[in-house]
Structure 1
């Protein structure tokens, strides 16, 4: 009777160890003996695995939501009611067609209040010099599609005019995204061909 119990106990232990060590053994042998194609796929899967998103608080987006699929960046600016100054500037420098096309852009749009904060001299200079206005607007457009989460992981962005603008977490304002000398106050306004982020200051 005792021998039978002992044998049963040893079987249970052996089975337990086999179950625990089996995957590790298989992984070890698999690493050694798997064909090159299989191992290459496994390595690619590890390298391309998406890490856990720790920046979900910024409401990141995946692709283009259905509600935005028929709206271009030009449509977003036209329908906002708070981007009139930026929209007028886009029209003045003939960029409306660019923002209606299929190429993706990320816009950092100063609110109308941000434009209103400019001095009368600054506003007049931009009004009277189309080239200066075009250069200013180009500093607020980044080719490509960058969500708030993307921006939080960046340090700089190359704008339409070739300038390098600092971007990323604002060191002076906790929880805010900075772009140039401004703060993003509203993010991830999505269009079919890009994203709009609203900023609180015009980057001159």
Structure 2
């Protein structure tokens, strides 16, 4: 089950307004041209609703500089990037216990729904210890948090097959997303090979 995170890349794109039809752009002088250029198109309005960087209240817990910062994480493959993020220490411990670090770091393109330390703390301590000691069960839980491809905010909503072989359904839009009872608290975080959405609850298969 060493396939925590392989997959294809899918990135978001910004819409750009262009003026087609020189007659319409120039027929009535400067006033007409100025009026046309300041009117937003439907595609511009849509692009304003799409997050272009990390979003969410939980991002305040990410360091502002160093390897654990947003900029620092973008330079490293996802397991290494997570190990530098103070919000994800239990997740890193779990990934290590499942022997999935190398698989994660060598994957081509993934989207990871990464539970925070507080998310793992919602699980009773005895149950969490038992999970961490059961490699097969732990691998199934961890791969349930991973899908193929790097899903941008305008692509992440919907039903996705996980690496555990089941599906998760992401609901929402803009900067508000949920997966069941879990909410994205810091989304659209880039690493060298993955898109990360930090969530406030562990997703159980």
TM-score (norm 1): 0.64
* Other-structure match for 2:79: 74
Structure 2, unpaired ranges of 5+: 1-22, 25-42, 54-69
* Other-structure match for 1:88: 93
Looking at structure 2, the residues matched to 193 and 126 of structure 1 have their Cα atoms a distance apart, in angstroms, of 27
Flag the structure with more relative contact order, 1 or 2, with Cα contacts below 8 A and sequence separation at least 6.
Answer: 2
Aligned: 1:60 with 2:63:
no
Q: Give the ranges of 4+ consecutive aligned residues of structure 1 lying more than 6 Å apart after TM superposition.
A: none
Equivalent residues in 2 for 1:96-175, closer than 5 Å:
96-151=101-156, 154-169=157-172
Looking at structure 2, the residues matched to 93 and 119 of structure 1 have their Cα atoms a distance apart, in angstroms, of 20
Deviation string for 1:13-46 (max 9, x for gaps)?
A: xxxxxx78xxxxxxxxxxxxxxxxxxxxxxxxxx
Q: Name the larger-Rg structure.
A: 1
Equivalent residues in 2 for 1:181-196, closer than 5 Å:
181-196=181-196
> Displacement of 1:180 after TM fit?
3.5
Higher helix share: 1
Deviation string for 1:121-180 (max 9, x for gaps)?
A: 4213302311111111011111110122221xx32111111111111218xxx9620123
Number of aligned residue pairs: 149
TM-score (norm 2): 0.64
What's the secondary structure of 2:187's corresponding residue? strand
Note if contact 2:109-2:193 (Cα within 8 Å) is conserved in structure 1: yes
Looking at structure 2, the residues matched to 182 and 198 of structure 1 have their Cα atoms a distance apart, in angstroms, of 10
Looking at structure 1, the residues matched to 179 and 169 of structure 2 have their Cα atoms a distance apart, in angstroms, of 6
Looking at structure 1, the residues matched to 180 and 52 of structure 2 have their Cα atoms a distance apart, in angstroms, of 21
RMSD: 2.7
What's the secondary structure of 1:201's corresponding residue? coil
